[in-house]
Amino acid sequence: SKKLGRGRHTTRQAELFAIDGGYIADTPGFSTVEVSRYGFIPKNELQYSFREFSEYLGKCRFRDCVHLKESGCAVTEALREGKINSSRYDSYVKMCEEAERLNEWEFKNK
């Protein structure tokens, strides 16, 4: 939209999805999460926010794999095989890039 300087959202109704141990809401109007308002997820923990990654976590060649460009990554292999939706993986990559720019200490006292 012109007002926000972003594209139009495609969600037209609110939906609530049950996930392991909680729920996630898909609501109109939210295209990003304000980290300073809702909390900080360190880059190395972000992988646990994507349930479709869960069966591949711990199966990578390197223990410290962040599932971006590492060789022997089980997550990116599953992506190539079509077992993980590319739009979800793209969201993960974008969130990793955002987390890379943030410093956890900036949000501890907010």
How far, in Å, CA of 76 to CA of 86, rounded?
A: 10
Whether 88 is in a domain gets the answer yes
Whether 72 is in a domain gets the answer yes
76 pLDDT above the threshold of 90? yes
State how many domains the chain has: 1
Element (H, E) at 25: strand 22-26
Domain of residue 28 covers 15-107
65 pLDDT above the threshold of 80? yes
Looking at the DSSP assignment, which residues form a beta bridge with residue 15? 26
List the single range of 23-37, 43-57, 72-86 with lowest mean pLDDT.
23-37
CATH number, domain of 24, equals: 1.10.40.50
Which of 16-20, 78-82, 103-107: highest mean pLDDT? 78-82
Q: Kindly list the distances between the CA atom of residue 83 and the CA atoms of 36, 76, 100, 103, in Å, as whole numbers in the listed order.
A: 33, 10, 26, 32
Strands 22-26 and 15-19: antiparallel
